[in-house]
Homo-oligomer: A and B are copies of this chain.
Amino acid sequence: MSTASHRPQAGPLRWRDVSVIDYKREGHASFRDVTRQVLFDDPSLACQLRYFEIAPGGHTTLERHEHAHAVVIERGRGQCLIGDRIYDVVEHDLIHVPPMTWHQFRATQEDALGFLCVVNAERDRPQLPTETDLAQLREDPDVAAFIRT
């Protein structure tokens, strides 16, 4: 990706020369209605900056990994699970996902949820929960309701 010095929006939270791509390759990871845009992927930066957008009713994958996430909500409303806590989130909220912490983002049924996410350029692959992990997470009824698929 070559990076121009200045890229104005081409539409709301869409940019010239930034492709709107699938959140993940289809596989056995569960997710729904999520797009991904890589805004900065610069070899002189040790991190990437991405913009994710979840359509109303959609959600990201429930996963964890050794790398951390630094997230800034940019539009809409939703919720996120970080560890065993569920938070309501709105524009300009800051969210930190520490290493090896289960996390998932959901838009509300009415609103999209868009957020910036900083990650290390070199990072490990996400891990999906095992049946044992899921059983443990589901011990909390609120978490069980949140991670429904």
Contact = CB atoms under 8 A, between A and B. Distances in A.
B40 A83 contact: no
Interface in A1-49: 3-9, 12-13, 15, 18, 39-40, 42, 44-47, 49
A122 to B, nearest CB: 8
Interface in A39-62: 39-40, 42, 44-47, 49
A interface majority secondary structure? strand
- From A42, A82, A98, residue with most partner B Cβ within 10 Å: A42
Interface residues of A, number: 45
A67 interface: yes
A93 interface: yes
A70 interface: yes
A82 B5 contact: yes
A116 interface: yes
Nearest to A3: B96
B7 A94 contact: yes
Given A72-B116, A82-B6, A116-B116, A96 B42 contact: yes
B6 A70 contact: no
Interface of A: 3-9, 12-13, 15, 18, 39-40, 42, 44-47, 49, 67-68, 70, 72, 74, 80, 82-83, 85, 87, 89-90, 92-99, 116, 118-122
